[in-house]
Amino acid sequence: MNKETQTLADIQLFLDQDQKKDLLRFLTAGSVDDGKSTLIGRLLFDSKKIYEDQLSALERDSKRIGHAGEKIDYALLLDGLKAEREQGITIDVAYRYFSTNKRKFIIADTPGHEQYTRNMVTGASTANLAIILVDARTGIITQTRRHTFLVSLLGIKHIVLAVNKMDLVEYSEEVFNQICNDYKDFVTRLSIPDIYFLPLSALNGDNVVENSENMSWYKGKNLLNFLEEVHVVSDRNFEDFRFPVQHVLRPTLDFRGFSGKVASGIVREGDEIMVFPSHKKSRIVKIIGTEGETDYAFPPQAVTLTLADEIDISRGDMLVHPQNQPRAERQFEAMLVWMDETKMDPYAQFFIKQTTNTTRARIDQILYRVDVNTHENGECETLSLNEIGRVVITTNKPLFFDPYQKNHSTGAFILIDPITHNTCAAGMIIDKMNPTELHSRIVDPETRRLIDEGKSLINSNELKKRYHQKGITLWITGLHGSGKNVLAYTIERQLFDRGATVVLLDGSTIRSGLTRELDHSPADRAEQMRRVAHVCRILNDQGILVICSFISPKEEIRQQVCEIIGKDRFHLIYMDATLAYCRENKPELYKKAEQGDLQYLPGINETYSIPKQPQLKLSPDNLKQNMDTILNYLQNQDIFPIE
């Protein structure tokens, strides 16, 4: 075999092996000061060198660039955009690619400074592993805690705590151990199953791609070895089959396929499946993968499924195994990371996108905001850029989801601003809400109906429970000077003292505004009573006890009032006082009327018709007794108090 054929065979072998490698996506967190750029630069550079060395056997003659003594500005190698170069900071997530003999890697390089939360969350959303950089001289600092918290929030299961700049602490094992212990102390509160501690010096290359001779006390793997070997396949959810339908394929009359990505779980030919939201069942006939038909599919494969039965299925529907169903809810709790420059408008209706489903969503409640530095919770009204909160969300139609910690693919969502269409938040579903806990601000059909009909969403039973009373009207009628107002004001006070929620309406309060333009003529008096009756009705609807003190001289007027307020809510009290008693009480008034200086005074120049069947008939002499009568009456009628 000549050299060229040998070379070609080697290349073929290399390519065959290369395409079998798996892919590891990881995130790097830390600031420029921690030497992050240097570390990434070195990984990219040194691994490329190693990678190329694979071929060096066949390429002995090939020219190679010399590394020795060459000073490389790694940050320049990495920074992408002009604006960043000018400002000297990395402002956005940048993706880098490199390979070794064992694996391919995608680095999400996230800046430590500005907008750290937004960028870190973005980078972490697609990562299996995070490298958190710590400066050996400073140890665990606020920033480290912040990075770790965000990594755990996004459910990343593997962390490498890279203690960098070990050269500046004389490669001290003690310093390293101290930092590891500090980190362990605080990280136990977060659920991160796999943490690897690694001392290194990115600048000098200690433990980056080669084990350091300067730290012979360190018996672990170097960074690249660790990245090559860390086991991440089992991080994927292979338990719960979820297939969000992305696209319906109907190329011919006899073919109907449902395309999408297997979000989680495994699906096999012949499996019984159930469709959400219809709950209809069928069987998998064919699984068409990218290499043709296949017996089974698993995440993250993109496939097309055909079913045994003709079921109406569209984008946004989800296929699952009937014995393992997702939540199908309109309301859930979630952790929300706010990503928009504009702070959250808690009253806006957002678009929510989760799997292949898009619908409307509202924030019902912000339960608390998390301080990413201290991990403490605080109250808040809204969320601003880079803030994280626990919220309750209601959607217009049900979403099919699992808690994010169990299933990233079905537990993640984004919120889209309804006006700008920016992606304004990233969310991770915690779980569904207990339906009794909250009243939604998103309207379901029943609520819509009530609102359209102008009916309160609070029903009378809820009001009764809240106020311990029934909303009724005590309507006190009687002549001028019969003691109505004394009775009305006293009973208001007494009821209030006993815990009732009560409103008093009498002539002076009403005439000062609501019926300002009306006089005492029979027609105007009727109009005044009509208005008062409507006020009573509104207040009674809200569960309020109303006390009215009006002469209301005519039976027809009282009848009309009773009809407006409602028969079962209208309770008439008649102050049965003689004309003589009244005249004694209000001598001036009666005198005026008798002299003809005053029109329309009931009992004098206007008829007062005595109520035929009042609920209570009271005599004005004994106020205390009257009180007891009324209070007893309210209690016996089960109006107030209600336990």
3-state helix, strand, coil in the chain (%, to 5): 30, 30, 40
Q: How far apart are CA 415 and CA 426, in angstroms?
A: 6
Q: Determine contact, residues 128/25, Cβ cutoff 8 Å.
A: yes
Q: Determine contact, residues 485/630, Cβ cutoff 8 Å.
A: no
The least distance separating other proteins from the CB of residue 363, rounded to whole angstroms, comes to 18
Residue among 248 and 514 whose Cβ is closer to other proteins: 248
The least distance separating other proteins from the CB of residue 198, rounded to whole angstroms, comes to 24
Q: Are strands 502-506 and 545-549 parallel, antiparallel or unpaired?
A: parallel
Q: How far apart are CA 95 and CA 258, in angstroms?
A: 32
Q: Which stretches of 308-422 are assigned E, i.e. beta strand?
A: 318-320, 327-338, 349-354, 357-370, 377-378, 388-401, 412-416
Q: Determine contact, residues 573/472, Cβ cutoff 8 Å.
A: no
The least distance separating other proteins from the CB of residue 127, rounded to whole angstroms, comes to 11
Alpha-carbon dihedral of residues 164, 170, 173, 175, nearest 10 degrees?
Answer: -70
The least distance separating other proteins from the CB of residue 523, rounded to whole angstroms, comes to 59
Residue among 96 and 221 whose Cβ is closer to other proteins: 96
What count of other Cβ atoms lies within 10 Å of the Cβ of residue 94?
Answer: 19
The least distance separating other proteins from the CB of residue 507, rounded to whole angstroms, comes to 59
The least distance separating other proteins from the CB of residue 137, rounded to whole angstroms, comes to 30
Residue among 55 and 285 whose Cβ is closer to other proteins: 55
Q: How far apart are CA 472 and CA 544, in angstroms?
A: 7
Residue among 247 and 439 whose Cβ is closer to other proteins: 247
Amino acid, single-letter form, for residue 391: V
Residue among 342 and 377 whose Cβ is closer to other proteins: 342
Determine which helix (DSSP H) or strand (DSSP E) holds 534, and give its type and residue range. Answer: helix 522-541
Amino acid, single-letter form, for residue 185: D
Residue among 14 and 368 whose Cβ is closer to other proteins: 14
The least distance separating other proteins from the CB of residue 120, rounded to whole angstroms, comes to 11
Which of helix, strand or coil describes residue 277?
coil
Residue among 81 and 285 whose Cβ is closer to other proteins: 81
Q: How far apart are CA 300 and CA 30, in angstroms?
A: 29
The least distance separating other proteins from the CB of residue 150, rounded to whole angstroms, comes to 13
Q: Determine contact, residues 149/157, Cβ cutoff 8 Å.
A: no
Helices 522-541 and 555-565 cross at an angle (nearest 10°) of: 20
Q: Which stretches of 372-501 are assigned E, i.e. beta strand?
A: 377-378, 388-401, 412-416, 423-432, 473-477
Residue among 77 and 451 whose Cβ is closer to other proteins: 77
Residue among 8 and 538 whose Cβ is closer to other proteins: 8
Q: Which residue has the tokens 């016996």?
A: 636
The least distance separating other proteins from the CB of residue 413, rounded to whole angstroms, comes to 7
The least distance separating other proteins from the CB of residue 336, rounded to whole angstroms, comes to 12
Residue among 208 and 262 whose Cβ is closer to other proteins: 262
Residue among 92 and 576 whose Cβ is closer to other proteins: 92
Residue among 263 and 533 whose Cβ is closer to other proteins: 263
Q: How far apart are CA 273 and CA 275, in angstroms?
A: 7
Contacts of 602 by beta carbon, 8 Å cutoff, 6+ apart: 479, 480, 551, 553, 608
The least distance separating other proteins from the CB of residue 126, rounded to whole angstroms, comes to 6
The least distance separating other proteins from the CB of residue 288, rounded to whole angstroms, comes to 7
Altogether, the residues listed in the chain come to a count of 643
Amino acid, single-letter form, for residue 381: E
